[in-house]
Amino acid sequence: MNYAIFRSQPIMTINDLAQIGSHNKREKKAYNSNPNIKIELSKNNIELKPLSVKYVKGFRELTRDYEKEHNNRMKTERADRRKTFSQMLNMSKNVVADELMFTASNKFFDNMTREDIKEWAETCMEFVYEDLGYTEEQVLHATVHLDEKTPHVHCVVVPLVRKFDKRTKTERYTISKKQYIKDKIHLSQLQDKYHKRLTDKGYDLERGIKGSDRKHIKVKEFKKTTRYLEDKVTTLNKNLDNAMNEFEDKMKTTKNVPFDKKHVLVEKETFDSMSKVIKETKNAMEFQPKVEELFNEVDTFTKSHRTLEKENNNLQKEVKSLKTRNQNLTKENKDLKDYISIILDVIKRFLRELLQIGNDKTKERTTGEIKGYYDNKDFNSNDVYNISKGTTKEDELFDYAEIPSYMKTQHHKKKNKDDYDISL
């Protein structure tokens, strides 16, 4: 029985895109880590959508207008919030590209000529254009690898679209995979369409087994992934611990700093240590979606191998090891999320206190930080409301977060520090 197989793999950073490009275009002289690649046969590979330059350069050409729009927007941003185009893409929770892979069971290709395989691959590309809805301009590169055991298509797409931004009420460029593959349910429906398109063309193929898209990937690749995640989560937790300990030490020395009826002077070292906590928290939050993405893949992989454990004794120890690693990663991931939540609560309380008793310069800088958290969706409108209510920055922040006017409170003159409510 031969199966039609279609998978979608997100590419999260520019560096990941470069590495995938090097693999897909066979830019290395040898592939010692993948003995299935016969580099001497690479000359037989078929280019469906050629790319004469490296992936990153091709990506930059494809997203030229997006980069120009971003750079123009950065001109009006505050200096400490400016990001290069690459920094913005790498820190975003969106993909930078999506890799579509098409193949079938190995026996399906028996007795097929190179032209027969090319015709099958062109049917796969029809699916990309007609069923997924990508334009030819959005396809960065598409190739058929004939130098491995089973022929397969790698098609890298950049889901660049213009979307209406509710906050600025303007249309902006963005890269959104969800415009084409909304979720796992939609992906399953697309796999049905892919199978139908092939059978309508006369190919004798069964629909791929639902939920088994990743089970062919080698165990050692997932072991490498889980090791990377474990190391990264450990580093994030360590950095957050160090930053929080430093900040708590600084706060102890600032408790007795003199203040008048209107302002309290926040020491630069204390503010800098708080900024460090904010930076490390942002790093953790930016990495969190990638932890979730990779964690879900590992989880799917281990579940899909439960039946294989009974069929292949050689895999049992490896699968057991993966399950143990996955359990550890689950706990570490939960601990990281809980820690982020605690740190965010501390940050909210600290920012509110700065808005209440800081001097004008401190309040301006604090307001910018709050807006940054809101823009990154780390704070929602309720957070902004709770942080800024009753402060001199209430109107500005309420307007920025589009908080309804009926929720605005009256300002009250505070006579001393004890009058301030810093709770959220």
* Residue-wise pLDDT tens digits, 64-117: 999 999 999 899 888 888 899 999 999 888 899 999 999 998 889 988 999 999
Say how far residue 374 (Cα) sits from the centre of its chain: 18
Q: Can you give the pLDDT at residue 228?
A: 63
What would the two tokens of residue 293 be?
A: 């993405």
Q: Where are the domains of the chain?
A: 3-213, 220-419
Task: List, for the chain, all residue ranges whose pLDDT scores fall below the cut of 70.
Answer: 1, 30-33, 208-232, 247-248, 250-271, 274, 282-320, 405, 408-424
How big is the chain by its Cα radius of gyration, in Å? 26
The string of pLDDT tens digits covering residues 10-39 is 999 999 999 999 999 998 776 666 777 888
Per-residue pLDDT, 2: 78
* φ and ψ of 164, to 5 deg: -80, 125
At residue 72, the pLDDT reads 92
For 183, counting Cβ atoms within 10 Å of its Cβ (0-12 exposed, 13-18 middle, 19+ buried), the class is exposed
User: Could you tell me where the DSSP H helices lie in 26-145?
Assistant: 55-62, 64-74, 85-91, 114-126
- Give me the architecture of the 3-213 domain, per CATH: 2-Layer Sandwich (3.30)
Q: What is the pLDDT of residue 417?
A: 39
| Bridge partner list, 47 | 143
Q: What are phi and psi of 271, to 5 degrees?
A: -65, -40
The pLDDT, as a whole number, for residue 102 is 95
Query: Of 81, 140, 94, nearest to 368 (Cα)?
Result: 81
